[in-house]
Amino acid sequence: MPPVVGLTRARVVEGLKVSVGIGFVALAMGGLALLLDDGKERHATGLDLFLSLLFLFVMPGVIWLLLVAILGSVTLRFEGSAIEQVLWRRFVLKRRPIAALYRISPGSFSAMVLHFRGGGKMALPGIHNDDQVRLVSFLQQLRPDVEFE
């Protein structure tokens, strides 16, 4: 397991490729709608139509990058026998010992929340499902006395 867990660059690029694919589909559907449109009241110029189609192509990628900016800002880092919640891979927000971890749950805004004895919690807003499975498996190896779901 890597020392830092969250949305990785590889996962961001993977999501961006999917967003570009969605953009191509939106572009194709917009082009098809223009071809099948038989309305006689067409007021849009060629530039307006081009910009509309460009908007359809670009927006899925822009939305993905905005989501990544929010969800990828907080990661978890393993330092010795502790877990740290880190902002922008630089600033430590919280630090808790792995020995105090007793539960993992989904969050309302976060992909997963780690619960620690004493009432402490750490939220991880963004993580790919495969990485989440690997993280839970890794934590299970570190804490075999606790059953994580």
pTM over 0.75: no
> Residue 120: CB partners within 8 Å, gap ≥ 6?
94, 96, 100
Q: pLDDT band at 47, cuts 50/70/90? A: confident
Whether 138 shows a pLDDT value over 90: the answer reads no
Closest CA to 99 of 43, 131, 142: 142
Give me the pLDDT at residue 69, please: 86
Q: Domain 74-142, what architecture?
A: Roll (2.30)
Give the tokens for residue 117: 């004895």
Segment 105-122, tens digit of pLDDT:
888 888 899 999 988 999
Domain ranges of the chain: 4-71, 74-142
